[in-house]
Amino acid sequence: MGLAGLDARLPLPEARRVFRGWRRTRPFWAGLLLLLGGIELLAVPLSPLTILVSLGLGGIAAIGIGLALVVAGLFLWFLPHTRHYVSVNALILSVLSFAATNLGGFLVGMALGIAGSAMGFGWTPRKGPAAHAQSARTQRTLAAALPVVLLITLGGRPAVQTRQPDTAPRLRSGAVDAPVIAPTVTTTRFAPDGFLFAGVTTVPTADGSVKAMVLRMKSASLTDYRLNTRDGHDELALSASSLDLSGNVTLYLTKFSGCLEGLLCLTFDPNTLPVPPIVPPFVFMTDVTAEQALVTADLIVAGGLTLGAS
């Protein structure tokens, strides 16, 4: 008996057909893995009270991260256009569960969360006019909402801006123009603190305006920092063993790539994948390469600073 014959003998053929059509329009299996991972993290601390007391703070953290993974799985099912942001945040929470909970649900919940995050990020929908229009209308708004939901689930109180991510304030009139060709910045580790807001704006240059991502934070620490200018025929290289920025730090970047927690490597730019407006605590990036239009801060401290020309 073939698969077609077996399918005809099973009950509720119309309901199964509708469900199959719904499942194929979203990262269903990725969402299911995130749901299972969240439920597994919830299973131990929601067991009898004696087990919860023995786990202590790890059990409480498991409840928060487990609920967040369940929410992320539901986002993949019902709001598939937010899959990139859902997957990135779910991956971060899954990795953090190893240290913050009972070894990530004894590795099972963490493994399910990582697998679901990878599948959700790599899922590609079938492109059509209606789907494309819906994605353009909802992607940024829903993506901005997800990190807030996850952080609130974990009990955090992030500072939320009332503006949408694509309405970052423009540079004031008379500000210094950015270079025509943005310098390239590389660092082995980028660790922001108090990441509050990310948006997209235009930055003036001598040849006109360029679109740039705006990253705002209280402070940032960069290790093995190197900046190479590409303006004109001469090239300057500025390097430092460490660079610490503090006080109203604002970065204007035309491109930004790196590996979240050293695991998931991503490339952000203003047109395809803008940076989420809120980043969970303890997140860092390794092997970072960025095209930096401008940077402002109240205080910049460099260690082992050197300057070279070619």
Beta bridge partners of 252: 214, 294
- Which of 29-43, 44-58, 262-276 comes out lowest in average pLDDT? 44-58
In angstroms, the Cα distances linking 84 to 136, 180, 236, 258, 273 are 14, 31, 36, 15, 8
* Percent of the chain predicted with pLDDT > 70: 70
Closest Cα partner for 73 from 59, 61, 62, 83? 83
Task: Quickly state the pLDDT bin for 164 (edges 50, 70, 90).
Answer: very low
Q: What is the pLDDT of residue 105?
A: 81
Calculate mean pLDDT across residues 37-52: 72
Distance, CA of 37 to CA of 109 (rounded, Å): 4
pTM (two decimals):
0.54
Q: What is the pLDDT of residue 154?
A: 46
For 71-99, the pLDDT digits (tens) are 999 999 998 888 888 888 898 888 888 87
Distance, CA of 82 to CA of 255 (rounded, Å): 21
Distance of CA 57 to the CA centre of its chain: 26
For 239-298, the pLDDT digits (tens) are 999 999 999 899 999 999 988 777 778 888 888 766 666 666 667 889 999 998 889 999
